[in-house]
Amino acid sequence: MRLMGRKLLYGVIIGLIIGFAAGYFIRGMMVEAGIKELYEQISEFRRRMVVVRMAIPPLRNIAEKCGIYIGAAVERSLLDIPDYAYILKQEFNILTTENALKFGPVHPQPNVYSFGDADYIINFAESNGMRVRGHTLVWHQQLPGWVAQGKYTREEWINILREHIMTVVGRFRGRIYAWDVVNEAIADDGTLRDTVWLRNIGPEYIEMAFRWAHEADPQALLFYNDYGAEGLNAKSDAIYNLVKGLLEKGVPIHGVGLQMHISLENPPNPQEVAANIKRLNELGLEVHITEMDVRIRMPAKWEDLIKQAEIYRDILRVCLTADNCKAFVMWGFTDKYSWIPGYFSGYGAALIFDEFYAPKPAYYYIAATLIEHLTKK
Ligand code: XIL
């Protein structure tokens, strides 16, 4: 018995020594290899397992304390995917209809409206305490054939646009927090973009659209929304002049949306974005970051994800420090469903969760930036 006991004891001691030695050796290897290399070496699945979900509250809870909305663009079909719906309602308190309320999808024939997808998204938002941004009433893309190829008199064009806006905005009266009334009406050189609306109605289509939207839903905040006009350039100057002119005429406009579709190589200068938001504040206008994503040339390296996180952080900081910047909305939240790979060949990984719904560095930088803002306040 005593001999057996001693053998067992030796066995355990030797086992422990070997165990510790192996652990020490492996630890040494890990330190040497560096966490960065390890990250690259382990499989995608293992990576998901080792992502440490820090004990931070959901983004929406912190953002609310900071006085801003944080959100994402969504598609109706994706709301039935459990992981997708779960993260959305957990993390965000404002949603944008990515396609459901565009002219083509919502009004495919002269007398046919298709509200099913928008109804579903808006119901989802309401049952989860989220606001909705309606996107978009007047745009030159995703138009139905009967508008894009239509031949009408000026009066008929005006009636088409009025009826469309009154019907769509009226249908959701009181339920849409903010509308992108006019989208991308200015070209990069600062002139009015050549669109069916400009050609057939003239520049007045812009103010008409705002007036009708306001008539149909007096509570909704009405926005002009565009891309490539985040910093200071010919386009953002033209938008500034446009909205200033509208305000002087008494047109009901409440804000400017900065889309913020940007690339890792060429992000806007944060000081310029701050200056642009400030001059809009001086006009009494709100700003929403409406469609942010930061596309990366694929395959995305670890360093790229960190740089991307810094860009998200810089833009969020600018928004948090501006009194009139009230919403920070991204064009989706998971790289699994993003418009980028389909529209920018060779690019991807633009959002803050990866294609397995794991939070990326940008997610943590956003959380940390919100917390940092709260503690400074
Ligand atoms: C994109 C959608 O994400 C795509 O699904 C769709 O095929 C094309 O439009 N600026 C806008 C958005 O205002 O409406 C666009 O959305 C992206 C660029």
**pLDDT surpasses 60 at 24:** no
Q: Is 163 a catalytic residue?
A: no
* pLDDT at residue 353, rounded to an integer: 97
* pLDDT at residue 47, rounded to an integer: 46
Q: Measure the CA–CA gap between 77 and 185, rounded to whole angstroms.
A: 29
Angle between helices 270-282 and 234-248 (to 10 degrees): 10
**pLDDT surpasses 90 at 210:** yes
Q: Which atom of ligand 1 is found nearest the CA of 102? A: 14
* pLDDT at residue 318, rounded to an integer: 98
Q: Using a 6 Å cutoff on CB, does residue 93 contact ligand 1?
A: no
Q: How many CA atoms lie within 13 A of 245 on its CB side?
A: 11
**pLDDT surpasses 60 at 33:** no
% residues pLDDT > 90 (the chain): 84
Q: Using a 6 Å cutoff on CB, does residue 339 contact ligand 1?
A: yes
DSSP 192: B
* From 98, 184, 207, 286, the catalytic residue: 184
**pLDDT surpasses 70 at 25:** no
Confidence category of residue 45, pLDDT binned at 50, 70, 90: very low
* pLDDT at residue 38, rounded to an integer: 52
Q: Which residue has the tokens 């806007």?
A: 268
Neighbours of 32 (CB within 10 A): 8
Confidence category of residue 52, pLDDT binned at 50, 70, 90: very low
As a whole number, the mean pLDDT across the chain is: 92
Q: Using a 6 Å cutoff on CB, does residue 259 contact ligand 1?
A: yes
Cβ(362)–Cβ(332) under 8 Å? no
Q: Which atom of ligand 1 is found nearest the CA of 135? A: 14
Q: Identify which has the larger pLDDT, 289 or 21.
A: 289
Sign of CA dihedral 239, 240, 241, 247: positive
Q: Which atom of ligand 1 is found nearest the CA of 73? A: 3
Model pLDDT for residues 122-153, shown as the tens digit of each residue: 999 999 999 999 999 999 999 999 999 999 99
Model pLDDT for residues 72-121, shown as the tens digit of each residue: 999 999 999 999 999 999 999 999 999 999 999 999 999 999 999 999 99
Model pLDDT for residues 227-248, shown as the tens digit of each residue: 999 999 999 999 999 999 999 9
Return the closest-CA partner of residue 261 out of 155, 164, 184.
184
Q: Using a 6 Å cutoff on CB, does residue 96 contact ligand 1?
A: no
**For 253, phi and psi rounded to 5 degrees?**
-130, 135
**pLDDT surpasses 50 at 13:** yes
Average pLDDT over residues 283-312: 98
Ligand 1 centre to CA of 98 (Å) is: 7
* pLDDT at residue 10, rounded to an integer: 74
Residue whose CA is at the smallest distance from ligand 1 atom 15 = 98
**pLDDT surpasses 70 at 355:** yes
Q: Identify which has the larger pLDDT, 33 or 163.
A: 163
Structure tokens at 330: 């991204």
* pLDDT at residue 37, rounded to an integer: 60
For the chain, the first-to-last Cα distance in angstroms comes to 70
* pLDDT at residue 252, rounded to an integer: 98
The beta strands (E) that lie in 113-220 are given as 131-138, 178-183
3-class secondary structure, 359 = strand
Q: Is the pTM of this model over 0.85?
A: yes
Structure tokens at 335: 């790289």
Alpha-carbon distances of 69 from 55, 110, 307, 370, rounded to whole Å = 21, 35, 24, 11
* pLDDT at residue 43, rounded to an integer: 45
**pLDDT surpasses 70 at 271:** yes
* pLDDT at residue 6, rounded to an integer: 74
Confidence category of residue 283, pLDDT binned at 50, 70, 90: very high
Contacts of 18 (CB under 8 A, 6+ apart): none
Neighbours of 117 (CB within 10 A): 19
DSSP 254: -
* pLDDT at residue 22, rounded to an integer: 61
Q: Measure the CA–CA gap between 297 and 351, rounded to whole angstroms.
A: 13
